[in-house]
Amino acid sequence: MKRILLATMPVGGGHTALRDSLRTTLASLDPGNRDYELLSFDSQDTRVSGFYDFCIHRAPWLQALLFSLGHSRGALTPTVLLNPQLEAETRQALVKHRPDLVISTHFLQSAMFVRARRQLGLDVPIVSAIPDYGEPTEIFAPSQEAYRLDALIVMVPQVRERLRVRGHYPLSRVHLSGFIPKAPFLEMGREMGARSRLSETRRRALLETLRAEHPQLQGVDPSRPTLLFLGGSAWTSKTMPVLERLLNTPALMEHLNVLVVCGRNERFHDALKARVQGQPRVALFGFVNASLMARLMALADLPVLGSLAPASMHELMETRCGPLMLFHIIPGSEDAHPAYIQEQEIGVYETNPDAMINLLAQATGITPAGPAMARLLRVCPERMRTLRATHMERASQLGTFLERLTGREPRTSLLLEPARARRRAQADSAS
């Protein structure tokens, strides 16, 4: 039995979501725990997460600058030297758990594990999982021997191809995997099956259940299209220009329901609450758990997004909440996401609030859809379903990759067809 340490850092929700997805994948491939002992490690560091919070709330331009500097071959060294607390805790984790393999979902933590391994004289493979869909910068896939990884896990073919072109890691050490959302999203996806949405009857029943738990939904009219404003824990506020125009346009508001998930941004929640008083079909939420989020996505017709982390993208696709109406992105890490959703025909990217309002009116049927929107509305549900099936299939191959990485022949139990992988993933994610 191999002891696999799955590590992450609390720097945005995407890194933890990917770690949890990988854990769900491996648990679904080995339900009897014959091949793996899965161990979790969550960094207790607050310095890096505090700096990240400062960037996203106060200085997004700094986030973009730091991401661009990540292309430099020497970028990792000063970052590593400035964070000795991370090196200490990764060293302690290796001593405590004695894993046979480490997978980390944050580049800095991965580099620290490589250093800690060398200091302890261990030969445990260190694998870094890259959550983003854009250019894999030097810090994500280090070419320097001091930080060189044993393997990489990526989520889209474009990243794997860029790594092939750069040539620092052979493709045999770069696994193209897939993302598995948490159980509540998988359950909604299973209920929808091949349909583009939940049935009208089911959506009305779902709304009634939610109303009993969340009184702010009492004014929501199930006969009207519903917009869901999202942005992770901190970025929904970036959609405020769209919200303002919507709230100032009674001709649109009388046709719509508006749900806003403000995340942990209490200042935004409170300011918006004062702004929407007297609007019965506007419902505000703070930070919500996966169960509530999955139900809100299944209830809504369109998401309006202040950021688009890969985890959120897959949750929205699993619940067929779309097309994705992307208004704002996190500088640097999400730069590639607008092109991705447009190439895959699952969404649009529009940074002009007036133009976004026009697109929302088309997508909800308030005004006639132009040719581009009409096509997007037609093909989006099937594109979402196909992409999710592809990710489930790729995720099912992760066990084979890790077995080869640790020098063992893959067991047949680790080769599951996508349907079985999905059923097991749901059970393991739920538990």
Domains of the chain, each with CATH number or no CATH: 2-177+397-430 (3.40.50), 184-387 (3.40.50.2000)
Strand partners, 227: 258, 302
- Cα angle for residues 310, 313, 314 (degrees, 5° grid): 90
* Mean pLDDT (whole number) for 78-102: 93
Which letter, b or e, does each residue of 385-408 get, where b requires 16 or more Cβ atoms within 10 Å of its Cβ?
A: bebbeebbbbbbbbbbbbbebeee
Question: Residue holding tokens 């999203």?
Answer: 185
**Mean model confidence pLDDT for the chain:** 90
Largest CA distance in the chain: 68
Q: What is the pLDDT of residue 194?
A: 86
Strand partners, 284: 260
Distance CA 52, CA 54 (A): 5
**Residues 93-106 pLDDT 10s:** 999 999 999 999 99
Residues 6+ apart with CB under 8 A from 330: 56, 60, 63, 235, 307, 309
Res. 415 pLDDT band, cuts 50 70 90: very low
Res. 82 pLDDT band, cuts 50 70 90: confident
Res. 65 pLDDT band, cuts 50 70 90: confident
Q: What is the pLDDT of residue 5?
A: 97
pLDDT higher than 50, residue 414: no
pTM: 0.89
Residue 363 near residue 302, CB atoms below 8 Å: yes
Higher pLDDT, 50 or 335: 335
Strand partners, 176: 154
pLDDT higher than 80, residue 358: yes
Residue 174 near residue 151, CB atoms below 8 Å: yes
Instruction: Tell me what percent of the residues of the chain surpass a pLDDT of 90.
Output: 71
Distance CA 128, CA 138 (A): 13
Distance CA 104, CA 7 (A): 5
Residue 36 near residue 1, CB atoms below 8 Å: yes
Show the 3-state SS of 170-203: CHHHEEECCCCCCHHHHHHHHHHCCCCCCCHHHH
Lowest mean pLDDT among 212-221, 288-297, 412-421: 412-421
pLDDT higher than 60, residue 416: no
Q: How far is CA 326 from the centre of its chain?
A: 14
Question: Residue holding tokens 């505000």?
Answer: 284
pLDDT higher than 90, residue 237: yes
**Residues 384-403 pLDDT 10s:** 999 999 999 999 999 999 98
Q: What is the pLDDT of residue 422?
A: 53
Q: What is the DSSP letter of 413?
A: G
SS3 of 79, please?
helix
